[in-house]
Amino acid sequence: MFDDDHLVSCAGLVPVMALATQTGLPDLLADKVHIASPRIKSGGANASPKLATLIAGMCAGADCIDDVDLLRSGGMPMVFDGVYAPSTVGTLLREFTFGHTRQLESVLTAHLAALCERVEVLPGANEQVFIDIDSLLRPVYGHAKQGASYGHTKIAGKQILRKGLSPLATTISTAGAAPVIAGMRLRAGKTNSGKGAGRMVAQAITAARNAGACGQILVRGDSAYGTRSVVNACRRADVRFSVVMTRNAAIERAIATIDEAAWTPVRYPAAVRDPDTGAWISDAEVAEIGYTAFASAKDRFTARLVVRRVKDARYPDALFPVWRYHPFFTNTDLPTDEADITHRGHAIIETVFADLIDGPLAHMPSGRFGANSAWVLCAAIAHNLLRAAGVLAGGRHGVARGATLRRKIVTIPARLVHPQRRPILHLPSHWPWSQSWLALWRNTIGHSPPQTATT
């Protein structure tokens, strides 16, 4: 029977939202997000607690607006103040325009800086920081989705056309930390992947500096971001870049001038050594050459063109090897093989996309483009908040997936009681991750519960 008013289904939201308050998220939302002329009179009222309600719901696994109602079940309203109904949250989201989403984007970057000041989210940021940029296409199926159009995406290695919306994202990571989101911007499905990339990279560099990145910054991207705008943004900010170049006639001529003796095997982390010859068993080889990019423009720039080549699997029995070439343009000073291995680390941004698709970005919930843009940014804030909570929980939770953190830390059931008018949460005995949960509690609430056998 659904008749218990004292059950709390997501007790882990208590320390998570306490962390959000300690890092000033409600204040940032109140200071930066203002809807002056809403279409519905009360649509823009109390934006801060409504958006905080949405972010809390996303931390608990909400992937549509109706899922926010989870926060009003059982004893949740007695634990949290200012929880709004899904209909009220949806009304607010539909009031968002491009300017309002820019306000929410500034909340994302400011809150990331506050999180990094409160929690060591990016260890090693004083030595090396990686900024990655990429886009994805989220499919939609309704006929009334604003901005939905057919764009190219890759499924099982094949390029296909799919109707959807295309978020562009930048992430910040270090060698010992999982990536956090520096910025996200929703675009139409047919938008070129590199549109607006230069501005996004410049904003991500600023966000990284504000988050405490005082070491060298390396910006990485695939062929959609090997453009003048991205390279110039990196040069203006005095950071390194490593971006894939689109294969054109100039690139082909540069590759053709590489001497055959210059190719060397690259030692990938997953490569194995031949026990007889001692050579690394890998079909990949790398070489480099000086290259002047954007030669016809005034802002031409000369740096290293590093080329990786692998044998084409379509011709395994060819008399002579048939190679596929993958060039990228970089101004790093790493050795050729290390530059290639470091560049391939750009794939870490796909783990962020997997987290978002397995959570808030499972759906684009609204028919209005502005509402979906706000939804994407709230998802980014929730992702960073969960990442910081995982770091405070300690152990493997610092690099765990968002779904793992929700299962082990957030969606833990509890019973709320008030002996002597003191609210106490009774959590399940023998919870496998109780020590990590208590570590998060002590790092946010600031005191320890009684150490009993049932704690």
Tens-digit pLDDT string for the chain (455 aa): 888 889 999 999 999 999 999 999 999 999 999 998 888 888 889 999 999 999 999 999 999 999 999 999 999 999 998 899 999 999 999 999 999 999 999 999 999 999 999 999 999 999 999 999 999 999 998 788 899 999 888 777 778 889 999 999 999 999 989 999 999 999 999 999 999 999 999 999 999 999 999 989 999 999 889 999 999 999 999 999 999 998 889 999 999 999 989 998 887 777 777 666 666 667 789 999 999 998 888 888 999 999 999 887 777 777 788 888 999 999 999 999 999 999 999 999 999 999 999 999 998 999 999 999 999 999 999 999 999 999 999 999 999 999 999 999 999 999 999 888 888 899 999 999 999 999 999 999 986 555 554 44
**Cβ count within 10 A of residue 151:** 22
Three-state SS string over 224-260 comes to: HHCCHHHHHHHHHCCCEEEEECCCCHHHHHHHHCCCH
| Threshold 0.75, pTM exceeds | yes
Side-chain-side CA neighbours of 384 within 13 Å: the count stands at 33
End-to-end CA distance of the chain: 27
Closest CA to 147 of 190, 101, 183, 185: 190
Q: What is the DSSP letter of 453?
A: T
Residue pLDDT, tens place only, 96-115: 999 999 999 999 999 999 99
65: Cα separation from own chain's centroid: 21
CB 194 within 8 A of CB 225: yes
User: What distance in Å separates the CA atoms of residue 197 and residue 227, rounded to the nearest whole number?
Assistant: 9
- The single-letter code of the amino acid at 426 is H
Side-chain-side CA neighbours of 293 within 13 Å: the count stands at 24
- Helical axes 197-210 vs 228-236, angle rounded to 10°: 30
- The single-letter code of the amino acid at 145 is K
Residue pLDDT, tens place only, 249-290: 999 999 999 998 999 888 777 777 766 666 666 778 999 999
**Cβ count within 10 A of residue 160:** 12
User: What distance in Å separates the CA atoms of residue 273 and residue 280, rounded to the nearest whole number?
Assistant: 4
Q: Which two tokens stand for residue 337?
A: 């093989």
**Average model confidence (pLDDT) for the chain?**
91
